[in-house]
A and B are shown apart, each in its own frame.
Chain A
């Protein structure tokens, strides 16, 4: 019940901001905010795999690509038809588009989750670095596949996707992925994941079905990566296989590690920092990427556990800190 209220409240707030935002700031800032949101979804979903379960996946861009292309194709072949049917039946346009977008995102997410299942089931039996290498290979194979399939535009990219995603939808996606991860972390299943991360052999000895839990985390992570891909597609209205290279996967990993493995709020913060950093560094032009990489190295050397470590920032925690000492005692 409380969660439902939270969700409704968040929806209302997001909708209100969505109305005000275009009048308050210019499109460039909105684009950065939305990209921040998409990166948050990616980072938090990868955190489920890398941070919670301790499995090392470096193919997140591949899952994002599947979700992006899957949902874009769904919209182009089905969703657009739905919208015209709905508007003919006098459903308000934003609602009609919202329903179609939601369906497309779910389709993209499910396709990506299916891919995660197919990749994960055989490879999660491998230990440690081998999973990393398989996911790396998977991400590259997906990209080459897209490059070679003419029906999705190949190397030219896929233009003409309706730009239905906006601040509201991305915000909703962020809320969903954070709520799901938080609940997972508090649940029995989450504890099982942590046990696998801390000591896989001990977890197995205590009766945790390690393979199926690892697959569960992997499938959930891929689902949200697919949703992020769908939002990305419907926000930019254009997809290109070059958006989903190995470098993109690396960016997401950097967010998770920088935020502190396993910390949801850390992933959120690092996603924002690493999205803003290249933008803030724009004035120094050609030195931008050099500074970015230098900062990454220096941050890892000075704070190897990530910005937050495995701690979480929460509203109640902050309130407790600011409450007078007398009351606390």
Chain B
């Protein structure tokens, strides 16, 4: 029982990171119907931006909470800028073309970020400074939680609540929901669709950057290809919960994280990459629109 609870805690931590990345996929898909394949690489860039700022502020030699916050904040701002540039120069020109052209462009951007990262950062893994020394807290019944896991949980939950506030209670959020419903109708209501799309990209990229920094805290080895697998899995998580649906992405991420940790814990670590996709196919066959998604109305 203790082992199961421990795995559950690890799974939820892992899942909340997937959820953060999945939110970016789901928001962009909801608005543009585009699978933004470069999103996993933005997450990678987030970890690298965090690394640079940590080095710049010498956070490892002299750690304090303010610097940790600065690392997170500036990584998010940096990736927000990257998201803006990607949207403006790669996706906007193909927005009027077929969806496949947009998809191939997304794949091109993803390859560009990975290989550009190789060029700039080098192929060898870099070590993210451990400016928050690991400490374990006992929760009773032999279950422990580390302070890093706590930070991941607290930061990701507050970011999700922040996103929820933006989407549900601000003018920009209202506009986002309107644009995802219909571009034309939103434009007719005086919403600047282009600006809202850019806003969505920036928001999603910032969440991915936060996920990158949080993961780097726990697994300090970072390299330019680290975004591919988490990116794919987060995308699967978004589909699992119902793509385009924001609470669905969080739920999908959690389900995915827990399933993965359970497979590693009770079955075999070599199967951990397969479970995500097995789960996905099973759920799609039973509920094609995902756990929380609405089946699309078919217009004839």
Say whether A associates with B: yes
A→B interface (CB under 8 Å): 50, 56, 122-123, 126-127, 129-130, 132-134, 136-138, 140-141, 144-145, 147-148, 201, 205, 246, 250, 253-254, 257-258, 261, 286-287, 289-290, 292-294, 296-297, 300-301, 304-305
Name A300's contact: one of B94, B243, B277 (CB within 8 Å).
B94
Q: Beta-carbon contacts of B87-123 to A below 8 Å, as 1s and 0s?
A: 0001001100110110111011111101110110000
Contacts of B35 on A, CB cut-off 8 Å? 129, 132
Q: Pick the 6 closest A-B CB pairs, nearest first.
A: A304-B97, A137-B277, A293-B111, A296-B108, A289-B115, A144-B274
Nearest residue in B to A59 (C-beta to C-beta)?
B277
Complex Cα spacing A297 to B37, Å: 13
- Total A-B contacts with CB atoms under 8 angstroms apart: 118
Given contact pairs A133-B284, A257-B100, A297 touches B105 in the complex (Cβ within 8 A): yes
In addition to A137-B276, A293-B111, A296-B108, 12 A-B residue pairs with Cβ atoms within 8 Å of each other are A126-B284, A134-B281, A140-B273, A141-B277, A148-B268, A201-B298, A253-B103, A253-B107, A254-B107, A286-B119, A297-B108, A301-B94
Report which residue of A132, A138, A144, A300 has the largest number of chain B beta carbons within 10 angstroms of its beta carbon: A300
Nearest residue in A to B92 (C-beta to C-beta)?
A301
Given contact pairs A140-B277, A144-B270, A296-B104, A126 touches B288 in the complex (Cβ within 8 A): yes
Q: Assess whether B280 is interfacial by the CB under 8 Å rule.
A: yes
Contacts of B273 on A, CB cut-off 8 Å? 140, 144
Contacts of B94 on A, CB cut-off 8 Å? 300-301, 304
Contacts of A253 on B, CB cut-off 8 Å? 103-104, 107
Nearest residue in A to B100 (C-beta to C-beta)?
A257
Contacts of B189 on A, CB cut-off 8 Å? none
Complex Cα spacing A126 to B109, Å: 28
Interface pairs (11), CB distance under 8 Å: A123-B284, A129-B35, A129-B243, A141-B281, A144-B274, A147-B270, A253-B107, A296-B107, A300-B108, A301-B105, A304-B98
Q: Chain A contact residues: over half helix, strand or loop, or mixed?
A: helix
Complex Cα spacing A216 to B274, Å: 27
Complex Cα spacing A122 to B282, Å: 11
Name A137's contact: one of B107, B116, B236, B288 (CB within 8 Å).
B236
Name A258's contact: one of B104, B118, B268, B300 (CB within 8 Å).
B104
Bin the interface of chain B by size. 35 or more
Are B100 and A261 in contact (CB-based, < 8 A)?
yes
Complex Cα spacing A170 to B126, Å: 43
Are A293 and B93 in contact (CB-based, < 8 A)?
no
Complex Cα spacing A294 to B228, Å: 19
Complex Cα spacing A101 to B119, Å: 42
CB distance from B146 to the nearest CB of A (A): 29
Complex Cα spacing A15 to B100, Å: 39
Q: Assess whether B239 is interfacial by the CB under 8 Å rule.
A: yes
Are A286 and B118 in contact (CB-based, < 8 A)?
yes
CB distance from B289 to the nearest CB of A (A): 8
Q: Assess whether B278 is interfacial by the CB under 8 Å rule.
A: yes
Q: Assess whether B165 is interfacial by the CB under 8 Å rule.
A: no
CB distance from A305 to the nearest CB of B (A): 7
Are A305 and B112 in contact (CB-based, < 8 A)?
no
Q: Assess whether B271 is interfacial by the CB under 8 Å rule.
A: yes
Name A293's contact: one of B108, B232, B235, B300 (CB within 8 Å).
B108
Q: Assess whether B285 is interfacial by the CB under 8 Å rule.
A: yes
Are A201 and B300 in contact (CB-based, < 8 A)?
yes
Name B90's contact: one of A129, A137, A261, A297 (CB within 8 Å).
A297
Nearest residue in B to A256 (C-beta to C-beta)?
B100
Contacts of B93 on A, CB cut-off 8 Å? 301
Report which residue of B108, B109, B236, B278 has the largest number of chain A beta carbons within 10 angstroms of its beta carbon: B108
Contacts of B118 on A, CB cut-off 8 Å? 286, 289
Nearest residue in A to B270 (C-beta to C-beta)?
A148
Q: Beta-carbon contacts of B227-249 to A below 8 Å, as 1s and 0s?
A: 01000100110010001000000
Contacts of A305 on B, CB cut-off 8 Å? 97-98, 101
Are B274 and A141 in contact (CB-based, < 8 A)?
yes
Are B236 and A133 in contact (CB-based, < 8 A)?
yes
Contacts of A122 on B, CB cut-off 8 Å? 285
Complex Cα spacing A50 to B101, Å: 13
Are A137 and B281 in contact (CB-based, < 8 A)?
yes
Complex Cα spacing A127 to B118, Å: 37
Complex Cα spacing A250 to B298, Å: 29
Q: Beta-carbon contacts of B189-207 to A below 8 Å, as 1s and 0s?
A: 0000000000000000000
Complex Cα spacing A306 to B218, Å: 44
Complex Cα spacing A252 to B191, Å: 39
Q: Beta-carbon contacts of B251-284 to A below 8 Å, as 1s and 0s?
A: 0000000000000000010110110111011001
